[in-house]
Amino acid sequence: QKEVEQNSGPLSVPEGAIASLNCTYSDRGSQSFFWYRQYSGKSPELIMSIYSNGDKEDGRFTAQLNKASQYVSLLIRDSQPSDSATYLCAVSGGQNFVFGPGTRLSVLP
């Protein structure tokens, strides 16, 4: 069974710090990797996608992928209170997406 694992948190960081979110997956055939952000009571929204090994940067967000280690991470630089949310890692390689349980991030002012 395909699995995606994340630390449930909560992960607390002070405003302005770097938040580091991690995700591991079990299916070596996975090809596409996504990070979704979900505010409480809202629907998930895509913030990053990554398909090849290495880093991908978009503004304050950097996604990192290491297929050999089956590991994906999301770094949020200069964290803001508005970044407080649950971050879902999603992995795809076949007929469907598999979402991780999410990590709850709290950015303290």
As measured in angstroms, the least distance from the Cβ of 100 to other proteins is: 7
For the chain, the maximum distance between any two Cα atoms, rounded to a whole number of angstroms, is: 42
CB 61 within 8 A of CB 73: no
As measured in angstroms, the least distance from the Cβ of 17 to other proteins is: 27
Residue at 41: amino acid letter: G
> In the complex, which residues of this chain contact other proteins (CB under 8 A)?
31-32, 34, 42-46, 49, 51, 88, 90, 92-102
Q: Which residues pair with 63 in a beta bridge?
A: 56, 74
Of all helices (H) and strands (E), which one includes residue 64?
strand 61-66
As measured in angstroms, the least distance from the Cβ of 19 to other proteins is: 20
Question: Given the structure tokens 């290491």, which residue do they identify?
Answer: 66
CB nearer to other proteins: give 79 or 87: 87
CB nearer to other proteins: give 9 or 93: 93
CB nearer to other proteins: give 90 or 107: 90
CB nearer to other proteins: give 50 or 107: 50
Whole-angstrom distance, CA of residue 16 vs CA of residue 61: 13
